[in-house]
Amino acid sequence: MKKGMILLAMAVMVSGCSDSTGPDAVPEVTLSFSAVPEATAPFSRSGGYLATQSDSLIVTSSSDVLVLNRVEVVLQEVELRHVGVVDCTGDDCAQFESGPFLLDLSLAAGSEQVFAIEIDEGQYDIIEFDIHKVTSGGNTAEEAFLSSHPDLEDISIRIHGSFNGTPFVYTSDLNEEQEVNLSQPLAVSGSGGTNLTVLLDVAVWFFDSSGELIDPATANKGERNEDLVEANIRTAFEVFHDEDFDGRDDNSEGGS
């Protein structure tokens, strides 16, 4: 786990969670993030393949090779919504983090725990969060974020990698709310705990409609593929039960 992930997880767990083994224990949910559902797998949307190597994600299709070395996403207002609730206001949702915060994704297979919270009993079916561009002159939390990450001003997503051997840096100022349905609603009762994983399927971000890889450099602001990649990003999120932290849906594996 990256050092930043460890510190963030520890801070949230210390401030928001109590011992879940005592007689007064309450339900707890952990939230993890993953960029890679499997170590090596057929890539269903393109007919290409993906693999991990030294914490890099390698995507191949036809004669093209895309290597992603680092994926950073700025998020805020990460919340878990009760079934039947239209929008997260007041106490209608369980909040994991208000943010903004930097999600520096591991590109190894599996998921990494980031947040842990105590949660009210009930049923939950949607994760809501903002992909957030932080601009100077914002609130105190945003100013603190920019103090720690001045190079991410007006940037919500940044990726370092190479395309057919040529290095690139892809950046986006995408700034919008995402609502992602859980693969199956989460029923919280008793004092048990569970882990939910948010899969950011970055392997699909850089494919065109014909299933061919594109050079991410052609998707930077003002470039011809900017809208294409941002549209791919909007639809490339999944949320599911993942008790073994392998980045895969337990229900599809026949797990719990």
Cα gap 60→43, rounded to integer Å:
9
Cα gap 245→220, rounded to integer Å:
32
Kindly indicate the confidence band of residue 48, based on its pLDDT and cuts at 50, 70 and 90.
Answer: low
Report pLDDT digits (tens) over 114-143.
Answer: 888 888 888 999 999 999 999 999 899 999
- Under a CB-based contact definition with an 8 Å cutoff, are residues 64 and 211 in contact? no
DSSP class per residue in 57-120 = EEEEETTEEEEEEEEEEEEEEEEEEETT-SS--TTSEEEEE-S-EEEEE--SSEEEEEEEEE--
Residue partners of 170: CB distance under 8 A and separation at least 6: 157, 158, 159, 161, 216, 217, 219, 220, 229
Report pLDDT digits (tens) over 145-198.
Answer: 999 999 999 999 999 999 999 999 999 999 999 999 998 998 888 766 789 999
Residue 162 pairs with which residues in a beta bridge?
Answer: 67, 167
pTM: 0.84
Question: For residues 19, 21, 23 and 26, what is the CA-based torsion angle, rounded to 10 degrees?
Answer: 60
